[in-house]
Structure 1
């Protein structure tokens, strides 16, 4: 019997596990970083222990600290949630060695499935067809060029240990290949290559298997609305699967789980092409973010199933799907600014309610969102008897959401699900990013700029001091019995007159920034500091202090949203300062590397002397 669970995670997924455990009469123990001290998941657990520190390495990925807490509090089981240590075999081994129950597949299974090259080989051994590629680590450029000569561009390079699509690089030309090798040098042992399928849907099966060999597909899911291989909108069941692809998905999933003796819940992921061809991608040996839609259409509690299976129990019989469900990932990302992560304090929060609406959240009004952790704030799950009704209900729910202080893509999601192309299903994994996002981002940016322009002008049309628009206060009034919201300058009340100085605020997103974009697309300040455009992890610093660089040379490799991004030299110059190191987390607009411009050779005094 499991009686006390240490939840080795944070925010909404930690809260999700804590709630189910409470319903089962099981005590829970939360662990937290310094910034999470007052979070809801910490308050709701039976007990909570500080890990001390802010970074991943200090807190949620510190195996020694986590095992120490488990032993100190008397936990008899560990739930890793998703992300962090959930797929790390060494952690599962440490849990078992400490005499605790690991709620998930064992370390051997994690090793065989967590490494994507081993997973490809496993799939091939049981006649499951992976995406066409090389099932060996890439050692040199010649191997990749031979693959391209056979299959052509585009291709995709992936990290063998890149869970959930992390570390993906799409290569569409010889120039892209040059850049890839410039970024990684000879360190290629952890990469493999696949054909990049441009027109396919991302379909997955939510699977479960217990210690007694009972196996079930709880539901299929369609996760094709993606940006940079990051899922944005998921739905269950997957609609309108072509040909006999669903039968193939079920059969292949069972083969994979049976072959490794899988015990627990997991997800098999595939690309399904329009003609019904199925291509295996990977197995995620943990709970998925989007598990909620499978729960909604079956009525099952998948966290409960995880705990039951880990305790040696029997998998529950799976009911037939009874509805259609969507999940919208509510992230702190700004559609008006290229969907880069945003930060700030949540000044107003009102969740949508009503029939068929479920909220999974770890945030509250007043919380400050920082760049330190994952940008996902919450999930809005909407369920109805069929897909059309679920779309209509989703539009209503998204419109009810009120979240101020941090930018989110909620309004953008409403636009996406209202499009004709979405009516049957999302056409492919590239549809949103290639065809939809550019138009939506442009429209929302224009709307944001118009709103900003209006707020920056006073009654006489004169521009207020740049970056310091006067603070507004909002009242609800009735005009001819019609309820309207009226926003007026705060200086009109509380003793402030028309000559009162407006309270300084941060510039609005999309407004003037202290950094400008160079001709290479990099953000550079007047002193030559090249700044990150995104919240990311530094994968590699490609230059040294004092090194001469040419415009376009690679400076830093970043990883964000599971994709690598490259930061280039904005002009010919000399590296005069390295601000970051590999493995470091950086926020959007954070300094990376200073490059002194050697093209500006003539100083102002010299120019004046020349004129004289």
Structure 2
């Protein structure tokens, strides 16, 4: 039996696992980045270890540090949560090689399903139909052009190692393809292509299979309310499925799990069209963010099931869904500013209460929301006997929710679920983006959706820096120990340690260039308009560029965004590198205008 579990994650999912561990009498061990030192998941864990650092790469994505903590804390199991290293076969194998239980499917299963091209080929081998596409890497432009000639636009390019909606770009024309190949150069073999279906719903199955060969679909879920392939509202069970579709979903899910000898919990994702056609998308070999709604309609604790299956025990029998449940992702995104992630300090926090209301949160009042990690603050889960009753209860709960200091889409969600278009189910995965978001640009329509005008935007704080620490030798009950603490603990009385606002170059505020739409300050520095990760820098210092040339590829909310040269000129300075986190308004690339360059040379 597992007795000590290291939770290799953060925020609400870490706290979720810690709570179930405590219910089962299992010691929980947390790890944390500098900015999470006082987070609730850290204080609630039985033990907590500093990872030292602030960025993904040096903390929650650092396998060596996590394995070191696992060894030092004598953990006998590792729960990866979701995201971070949860789907990395090498990390799972390293955990097993250390003699520690990996709470998830085997490294071999992660390898077979984590690569989406392999997953497509696997599906085809067991007569599970994927979305029409190319079951191989994009090795040339000709390959894609031939597919377009046969299937037409739109198409979608996806990263083979994406998962969770990452690395997905919809192509509507040859010009979009030109931009795609310009953005990725000779690295397109990491992508594959599928036909893009505008009118399909995103329906998934929460599956479980134990080491004794028992398999079950615990519930279906509908996750069609999405923006940029990021799920916003999820529900279980999936409502109003065409006749025979649920039987197909269960059958295909079983085939996929049994084909790879899957042991553990996972999710099979599909597109369901109005005429009942079903197409396979992917298998997510981990716990999903939206697992809560499956728990609510069945009464099962899915983290407990993960722990029991990993211990070799039989999984529990899955009861038939007995109610209807919604999950609302409460993110620090401002609907009045196009759902751009915001930062700030949570100055007031009041959660809704009452029957059928559940909160999964990683924040407290007074917490500063930074651009360093995912913008999701919490999950509001509402359950009632019927879908209609759950919608009514959700509107009440969303109205009770009171978060100040950062913008959230709570009021928007309340209006969205009340729309006639939402009944008896959300129309398609494009509905929110094509129908709801455009209304937000009209003040009258936005007001009807409960969205207030955006406050004047302010530059976000700079990327977090590793804390300076001091180490002392102390004696505890006569035992010599080293104590390491942040130097800020020695700040003078009344002094507050906070992150200042990063000034833009020259102390002047960047403005949107009227012709290019890019944020450019008076020195020619092109700044990021969004919080994102730098995927690729496409230029070099000294390189001449023309207006519209691609400078940087960013990834935000699981979708790529392109930053272009605002005018003809020369790249004078590059302020970022690939893989770096950037906040909104942070400098990216400085471009000197062509005329100014000529003057400097005279």
Q: CA deviation at 1:205?
A: 0.1
Cα offset for 1:189? 1.7
Q: What is residue 495 of structure 1 aligned with on the other side?
A: none
The structure with the larger Rg is 1
| 1:501 matched residue in structure 2 | none
Closer, same or farther in 2 for the Cα pair 1:533/1:452, shift >3 Å?
Answer: closer
Q: How does 1:119-268 map to 2 (within 5 A)?
A: 119-268=119-268
Question: Match of 2:353?
Answer: 353
- Any conservation in 2 of the 1:297–1:324 contact (CA below 8 Å)? yes
Q: Is the contact made by 2:336 and 2:453 (CA closer than 8 Å) also made in structure 1?
A: no
- TM-score normalised by structure 1 residue count: 0.88
TM-aligned CA distance change 1:601 to 1:445, over 3 Å = farther
C-alpha spacing 1:26/1:452, structure 2 compared with 1 (3 Å)? closer
Verify: 1:578 aligned to 2:574, yes or no. Answer: yes
Distance 2:2 2:268 in 1: 28
Q: Distance in 1 between matches of 2:546 and 2:196?
A: 31
| Distance change >3 Å, CA 452–CA 257, structure 1 → 2 | closer
Which range is displaced more, 526-535 or 85-94?
A: 526-535
Q: Which residue of 2 aligns with 1:56?
A: 56
How far 1:598 moved relative to its partner? 2.3
CA contact (8 A) 1:243 1:275 kept: no
Match runs of 1:1-40 below 5 Å? 1-40=1-40
State the SS of the aligned residue for 1:165.
coil
- The one of 572, 575, 588 aligned to 1:592: 588
Q: Take 2:436 and 2:454, find their aligned partners in 1: how far apart are those partners?
A: 23
**Runs of at least 5 residues in structure 1 that lack an aligned partner in the other structure:** 454-465, 468-504, 508-512, 607-612
Which residue does 1:118 correspond to in 2? 118
Residue pair 1:530, 1:591 contacting (<8 A) in 2 also: yes
Q: Which residue of 2 aligns with 1:550?
A: 546
Aligned partners of 2:167 and 2:560 also within 8 Å: yes
Cα pair 2:569 2:597 within 8 Å, conserved: no
- The CA distance in 2 between the partners of 1:5 and 1:354, in whole Å, is 32
1:208-259: CA deviation from partner (whole Å, max 9, x where unpaired): 0000000000000000000000000000000001131111101000000011
Contact preservation (8 Å) 1:7, 1:17: yes
Query: Which of 518, 536, 539 is the matching residue for 1:540?
Result: 536
Q: Aligned equivalents of 1:565 and 1:528: distance in 2?
A: 20
1:364-405: CA deviation from partner (whole Å, max 9, x where unpaired): 000000000011010000000000000000000000011000
1:515 aligns with 2:510: yes
**C-alpha separation between the residues in 1 aligned to 2:119 and 2:455?**
50
Once the 2 structures are TM-superposed, how far is the Cα of residue 560 of structure 1 from its aligned partner?
A: 1.0
Pairing 1:423–2:423 present: yes
Q: For the Cα contact (< 8 Å) 1:335–1:441, is it kept in 2? A: no
Q: Which residue of 1 aligns with 2:371?
A: 371
TM-score for the superposition, normalised by structure 2: 0.89
* Contact 1:412-1:440 at 8 Å conserved across structures: no
Identify the residue that residue 298 of structure 2 maps to in structure 1: 298
CA 1:11/1:555 → structure 2, altered by over 3 Å: closer, same or farther?
same
Report deviation, 1:186.
1.3
* Equivalent position of 1:93 in the other structure: 93
Deviation per CA, 1:193-216: give whole Å up to 9, x if none.
111111100000000000000000
Aligned residues: 551
Q: Secondary structure at the match of 2:424?
A: coil
Superposed CA RMSD: 2.0
Distance in 2 between the 1:203 and 1:8 partners? 28
Contact 1:5–1:79, Cα closer than 8 Å, also in 2: yes
